[in-house]
A and B are shown apart, each in its own frame.
Chain A
Amino acid sequence: MPFIPHTEAEVGQMLARIDAPSVAALFEEIPSELRAAPLDLHDGLNEMDMLRWMGAQARKDEGTLCFAGAGCYDHHIPAAVWDIATRGEFMTAYTPYQAEASQGTLQLIYEYQSMMAHLMAMDLSNASLYDGASGLGEALLMAVRGNRGSRSRRVLVADSLNPRYRGAAQTIVGPQHIELVPLALDASGVTDTEVLAEHEGLDFAALVIQQPNYFGRLESVHSLTDWAHAQGMLVIAVVNPIAAAVLAPPGEWGENGADIAVGDGQPLGIPMASGGPSFGFMCCTERLVRQMPGRLIGRATDARGTPGYTLVLQAREQHIRRSKATSNICTNQGLLVTAATIHMALLGATGLAQVATACHHANNQLLRHLTAIPGVQVRFDGPHFHEAAVRLPVDPATVLTQLAAEGILGGVPLAPDYPGLSDCLLVCATEMRTDADMARFAGALARTLTAPPRCQAGA
């Protein structure tokens, strides 16, 4: 019996103790008409056979050369990160409700909160949310609750926000009748400052800006933040934590800084792994702390004056406040935070900045390779960080299919979310892509553009 330690003799002894004739008899309170027929499932496998099947599945997807980003990035992960994070004492611990038996996890999260607050230049950080996109949904709810000067349930959301973030946030805030009002792009792929005037004097709870934006372009975050604050809005910054090592952090946007910073922690030592599990981070100003969703760890002392760490401000949370809680979130993404904390400790400020620099360098190299192909152009003028939209002379969907046949993930098509950019691919090269990788991608792309799509036999 897999993972069940009982011997037959022990089962007999236990049944005798509870005066039950059989294990099946323990379910006598379940009305007989409800009891299930034997499940229509497979026979159990031993570990070897299970790994054989799962291994064959994994190998089908192995070996892809990745030039996609769009919110998930292929970075180097130091070997130590997951060696330590998957120690059973971290991996198989429960949520640290019993502080005295959870000081390892609690101190680690306090260190995480500190690192993240420093990286974002914000007052404080929570212990994590599910991912960046759902984190944005929580940030919108928080801004609507926390903006005392506004009665609005509308938020301005730049069109340059990752559309997958917009989608998930919409699902999460929709039932509370919060409306996402779009802000158009200008010709250079950033928020159009001309359209801001149209929104002046109207009541919005918040403005959402992503930096670098979905197209890898840099938004004028200082003037956007100051404008939003002058209009009485809170500013929600959506940022990439690696980029924050070299770009102005949210806490330093404009005169007073963003009010809430959210994003996905995946670039901090989390494998792409089909996009999850990763974790969402959320930082905010001191003023908003009691509106924060999720867990917060604080430092305190015991009766002997020994410092220790514990969950604090739990009166915001569902297990205390129930229907009045700031969110229903309970389980979050603890183990990913463990990995990210080890990752940030290893890299340090210099290492993170070097990774960011290397990514920027690699992406510029990639754009040089690709734009050397006739008909391929960078779609937007101006500097890009991390990724860029490139325009192709043929349908990007067809190109991606042909590249996939060569084991290359050639980017993400923009057509489904931006009809006006249906001739564009969003491409990305991290520090992991070598010049040879880029040459292979460019060569394959050039072939797909010069050769007509392969025809069906006989056509």
Chain B
Amino acid sequence: MSKLIFELSTEGRGARAQWPQTPAEALDDLPGELRRRTPPALPHLSELQVVRHYTRLSQRNFSIDTHFYPLGSCTMKYNPRGAHRAASQPGFLQRHPLAPPALSQGVLGCLHRLQAILEEVTGMRGVSLAPMAGAQGEFAGIAMIRAYHEARGDHERKEILIPTAAHGTNPATASMCGYRVREIPVTSGGDVDLEALQQAVGPHTAGLMMTNPSTCGVFETQIRAIADTIHGAGGLLYYDGANLNAILGKVRPGDMGFDVIHMNLHKTFATPHGGGGPGAGPVGVNERLLPFLPRPLVVEDRTADDGLHYRWADKAESPHSIGTLSAFGGNIGILLRALAYALLLGRDGLLRVAEYATLNANYLARALEDAGFQLAFPQRRASHEFIITLQREAREWGVGATDFAKRLLDHGVHAPTVHFPLLIPECLLIEPTETEDLATLDAFVAAMQATRREAEAHPDRLHQAPHTMPIGRLDEVSAARNPDLVWRGDPPMA
């Protein structure tokens, strides 16, 4: 086990090179009753202690840089170091968010270029870079749908339709935007049940949220019929860009009939996941939703006589905007990394992303099928991801998807997404991404086969897995009953 940073503390120690020198009486003009009485219980440490502690903690992680991460719907591909360097230059890091255009032409020019690239890639008319993650992009998208209906005086549309295979953020977003959620079933072929959809739509329908390819790992071929059904009922179509990696340059959401889309740049545009963020979730819209885009937007003024070609649009230029989503302009550092990635790949490189992500997924699906695993949709072509179901293994040997996932960690592979989508029992959702080589894919198949053999012979080894990680499975039930969220000087409850 690893000690907590608090347990390394000794009163009187400190990383003094980091302390500015200022006389304490500098605070004397502040009223005493508004001053802090006791210092916070932060640890007292040397700089080396801090560096060593966190370096060691980092080594207790899986990461893309160290492990294969076939995590479905998360697109854990290589994060180019060049993009990180491009965004880490002093001119970008030291810019205050409220610096005027005269001191900001560099960053504004970058953002404008990224807006244009994303418009082209998605086939949309306008893009706002403001949302700070996928879920915030979803919020912005559904808030725009709401603003659109309200602007037309159409107040009866109170329901958002969502296929059962959707990410949890979709229904949560619809609720946050004040909508009722109605789930639409998915057929055994992995497509939206068109008949059920046709029965569900009506004057109460505000819109439909979906991914394509879906989280079932297949392309929704009836997309035009779905779009016609929704539009025919007066609703709008929302594209969850979680799976955009699968179709870059192949088919564009705007051409499929979607009215609004969010992109996860931390997936498709390879910005690092950071152990849970930051992301960036720009939104793109077609003509009818343009007036509602979230602020701020960068505009170009080629003829500006002061040479300032880029500026933030004035509030008065977007009076119908749903508003701002953060204090400033969103996660600009992530947007710069995404731009650097797009510059590196260009037209042909972006197309190859979809092609090789799809090649890798189909190869892996076939290899696992040949090894005896059951695909959830064997009759379909996999997109960039696919699902296997371990229903048979669970029935015969009592080992489920979670047991497989945990045992894979011992093989040095991050677990695929487990038990999602919810409609497929004991499933693993597997997304290898385009940046993995053939040898890595073959090693994964070998690890899966070994795990399967073990499941048959020694199911307990899987139930107790992992065996080689710093800890075993944690007792999450008692952790939830009596949550220990803050260190207060006591040992953990056994």
Contact = CB atoms under 8 A, between A and B. Distances in A.
A374 interface: no
B372 interface: no
B282 to A, nearest CB: 13
Given A39-B351, A72-B96, A26 B381 contact: yes
Q: Which of A80, A162, A305, A323 has the most CB of B within 10 A?
A: A323
Interface string B196-223: 0000000000000000000000110101
Interface stretch (A180-188, A199-207, A354-362, A440-448): A354-362
Contacts of B104: 61
B47 to A, nearest CB: 6
A306 to B, nearest CB: 5
Contact of A36 (B63, B71, B252, B340): B252
Nearest to B467: A100
Nearest to B294: A171
B480 A276 contact: no
B224 to A, nearest CB: 7
Contacts of B414: 94, 98, 101
A376 interface: no
A379 to B, nearest CB: 17
Contact of B176 (A113, A130, A176, A334): A176
B176 to A, nearest CB: 5
A288 interface: no
B278 A164 contact: no
B58 A277 contact: no
Contact of A41 (B105, B120, B367, B469): B120
A132 B488 CA distance: 26
Nearest to A407: B103
A218 B173 CA distance: 37
B475 to A, nearest CB: 5
Contact of B94 (A26, A62, A93, A309): A62
Contacts of A405: 102
Interface residues of B, number: 205
Contacts of A2: 80, 344-345, 349
B224 A176 contact: no
Contacts of A177: 178
A312 interface: yes
Nearest to B336: A54
A457 interface: no
B31 A102 contact: no
A42 B469 contact: no
Interface string B273-290: 111111100000000000
A329 B133 contact: yes
A21 B351 CA distance: 18
A197 interface: no
B272 to A, nearest CB: 5
Given A6-B438, A274-B95, A276-B333, A248 B36 contact: yes
A89 B98 CA distance: 33
A40 B120 contact: yes
A39 B347 contact: yes
A393 interface: no
A34 B348 CA distance: 19
A294 B218 CA distance: 30
B52 to A, nearest CB: 10
A436 interface: no
A333 B132 CA distance: 9
Contacts of A99: 471, 473-474
Contact of A89 (B65, B135, B172, B471): B65
B435 to A, nearest CB: 5
A180 B405 CA distance: 47
Contacts of A76: 18, 20
Centre residue among A102, A107, A174 by max chain B CB count within 10 A = A107
B22 A318 contact: no
Nearest to B438: A10
Interface in B114-157: 117, 120-121, 123, 132-136, 138-139, 143, 146
A171 B325 contact: yes
Contacts of B45: 345-346, 348
Contacts of A168: 323-327
Given A29-B381, A275-B326, 15 more contacts: A26-B362, A55-B86, A87-B58, A89-B63, A99-B473, A111-B4, A222-B34, A252-B36, A272-B97, A324-B175, A325-B172, A327-B172, A329-B136, A336-B274, A383-B31
23 contacts: A17-B363, A47-B344, A54-B336, A62-B90, A64-B94, A64-B95, A90-B61, A90-B274, A93-B64, A95-B276, A98-B405, A98-B409, A100-B472, A130-B331, A164-B328, A274-B95, A289-B485, A322-B171, A323-B181, A328-B175, A334-B277, A352-B40, A353-B36
The 4 closest A-B pairs by CB, nearest first: A275-B328, A275-B97, A335-B274, A44-B346
